[in-house]
Structure 1
């Protein structure tokens, strides 16, 4: 060991690096950064990891799970700062040390209670951060539903915040993209909260068709221009056709979230756009909407990033299951989909891998009966879980 003064030394660990796995090694970190990594027995006093996995803290680009803490029941709104703190604790104990909180930047009467609350939740995240109440490092992902009348005005209110790291271009008009089968969208809304009747859904869908005809084209141009003006990476959403891919290329999209077909995924890959899929899709063995399976994309070399979407613990589970489902993917490659690649996609080059000089965002993981358990979490060298 060199003369570097280390605050913490972990030994007897299986360490996942960006390109390989050290089967038995040690890691030292000081002043919030990784200081040294080596194979073999740790010199001097150290924490014995007992052969557990040591990985970079997970980086999450798309999770709307905050909504479940803020609106835990239909028409029940929790204190927004308390909701953020509860949600943050769940993220940290799932191994997530960097998160882009996905906020709905639109209002739609009669759809979901959480619509139009992006400003409230963004303010709550700021309040919790400034009070040093958060375990993970929080940024914002503005989810922009392009056909909605007020989406440009609402995005404009938030886009200048320094914590905005991603904006996504979404269009959930029935009959296209994720919900090409309109019946799937009806099933989705019937299962939300108290559910919606077919008559209510007829009204909702008719309004959405009208909104798309009236606003979508102009709003798309305005949101894309807003993102480029503020140097914020763009994500497309639920790309399905070659036309969707062409739009993503035209708009200089960096990340494609949840493409629904192999055709679209291949086109996005050829264009050099990172493909993000849901970790629940991996864990469940397929899409809950009946679209393409993430594992099928992985077998084709078309999967770059995993997201926990609506189940925080799925991010770690999905990454560790990838090598089992796709033998061509080794553990280091699988872990990159939830660490290094998503970090780089949104310009966070200081984290996402265990390497000297990188942030000491680290997690200790024990696997029992095929289920990963996060035993310890460090953010910038400080134990947070």
Structure 2
């Protein structure tokens, strides 16, 4: 596909999304109907679509509308790209710009457009992040770093970095966690690399790795909201722990056995019915369902579909998860709470509410990870019984 044809494909997908189709579904639908598109073409089209989602308000302003064509014009204009060679009508490229489209509007001045956030959530960002609010909002408009966790039970960070370099994948160490390598070149080669196929690495954000690294060593550890099981695998890499994984929807863990086998790890899956009988655990990690606001640059559609009502629902779910997890924690054990959210209401407020409901517990550790070039936005807090 030519660069112009990729723009046309992105416009088509954005128009499909305007009818209410989620981004991933729209991308999959297009890919199935476009067998001629190679892997590089699909990746480039995906990048275009996600660039728009990260900067939708700015793209609409600079493109003069909300259609797929206007949004692509706007986001390319924001990136300083010359539009004429891409919009030339040749082959499968979009038609040339009209006189109105060719006239760039004035730069925006309102906060919502500059920050690319829904109006209602801006006060929450300001209250939660203070002087860092603008920097975080700006960071969420760029692509996220790609990081891997080195499975130190099988390999050293230095050896993995060397092996990846030989495979054409350049990396750098990451300040957030000693097991993390951030990919600087060749990220699309990762899944076919020997390091990945042999279980020496797992794709995992560096801040997410740091959350697990902050946990104390223990014999029995539970990943309460395991999802795909990335944190459970990180726990299991310690080798001195028996690790359990639970998720209310076991289908999310369907790939966990194969990943654990590849990593030479053992993770015992526990159903909701079995959970109470499987405890107590020395460490219980609750990576609770949340807004995902700390990872919106990876899933940018989320910031446009998220609502105040959903935030209220999530805080109630988070409270229930913490209360149940407390009953699963051994008397001298550690209960750890985490979210990939930057919002105070999902983080510090939930910790304070838990302590207010449970005066026999105390908070012994807390840390925030901001959205930056190293990793996503995370929050974690550890609790122990007095």
TM-score (norm 2): 0.29
Larger radius of gyration, structure 1 or 2? Answer: 2
Higher relative contact order (CA 8 A, sep 6+): 1
TM-score (norm 1): 0.29
More helix by share: 2
